[in-house]
Amino acid sequence: MTAKSVAIVTGASQGIGQAAAIRLARDFSAVSLVARNKDNLDETVRRVQSAGAEAMAHAIDLREPQAAEIVVSKALERFGRIDALLNIAGAVPQIDLFEMTDAQWNDGMALKFHGARRLTICAWEALKASKGSVVFISGSAALDPKPGFAAVAAINAAIIALAKAFAEQGIKDEVQVNSVVPGPVMTGRRQTFFEKWAPAHHLTVQEAIRKFPEEAGISRFGKPEEIADLLGYLVSPAAKWLTGASLRMDGGEIKGI
């Protein structure tokens, strides 16, 4: 079967990745969903189909070197093309700079950085053929590193640089590449973080969640659907001249011109 337009979304089992997959179902004929958690991925499949797109799921670990080739080959085998790739997968441990081990650093890089890098390279020829789009998800820690989340900051900064390098080649190959830099978005993963962090700071989870936006200088947490709408725009025809950009959406956490 050949679909009119096909998007691959990684990290599609929860949070921003799930919201993005559901959002793209409005604009793409098919969405290939990639994540490690099969049960949550099945729920995303159901919601993508309900939104009007065909869905294919890959419960696979992108940290494995062969995973990227499997995801791309299966998408091409079923749909015949790839029009957009959204690299969203990647959980990096928030561990103090002086405590994080080499193994933990390597694991953080393996999924968010190398998994996205390999997948983009594997999909590049198909994206060239479709004059398609790639988006990498970074995070605002890249712009304001702190010792407590040094790996998050460093890997997110590397993601921004990687996206710009792909964008440079993309100008020659007619592949649009950008990165998105979300601020504090309330996802299941962030909720879990507060459940661990709050007791250590003598707070209830609700107290910690309530205090965080004020300390970050924002009015509220972001919603996964808000980031998903930005991603939807970036891979739409209206955004085709926008490439090589790093777009920050953080409720004003980091001020800039």
In a domain, 113, yes or no: yes
Q: Does 3 score more than 70 pLDDT? A: no
When the pLDDT of each residue in the chain is averaged and rounded to a whole number, the result is: 94
Q: Does 151 score more than 60 pLDDT? A: yes
Are residues 212 and 139 part of one domain? no
Are residues 76 and 17 part of one domain? yes
In a domain, 254, yes or no: no
In a domain, 1, yes or no: no
In a domain, 256, yes or no: no
Interval 39-45 mean pLDDT: 94
Cα atoms in the Cβ-side hemisphere of radius 13 Å centred on 54: 12
Are residues 199 and 109 part of one domain? no
Per-residue pLDDT, 2: 46
Q: Does 200 score more than 90 pLDDT? A: no
Other CB atoms within 10 A of residue 209 CB = 17
Are residues 199 and 72 part of one domain? no
Are residues 217 and 119 part of one domain? no
In a domain, 60, yes or no: yes
Interval 174-185 mean pLDDT: 96
Q: What is the CATH number of the domain that holds 13?
A: 3.40.50.720
pLDDT in tens, 80-109: 999 999 999 988 888 889 999 999 999 999
Domain total in the chain: 2
The residue segments making up the domain with residue 71 are 6-185+223-249
Are residues 166 and 93 part of one domain? yes
Are residues 94 and 27 part of one domain? yes
Going from the C-alpha of 162 to that of each of 87, 116, 180, 185, 227, the distances in angstroms are 12, 10, 12, 23, 20
Are residues 191 and 125 part of one domain? no
**What is the pLDDT confidence band of residue 167, given thresholds at 50, 70 and 90?**
very high
**What is the pLDDT confidence band of residue 54, given thresholds at 50, 70 and 90?**
very high
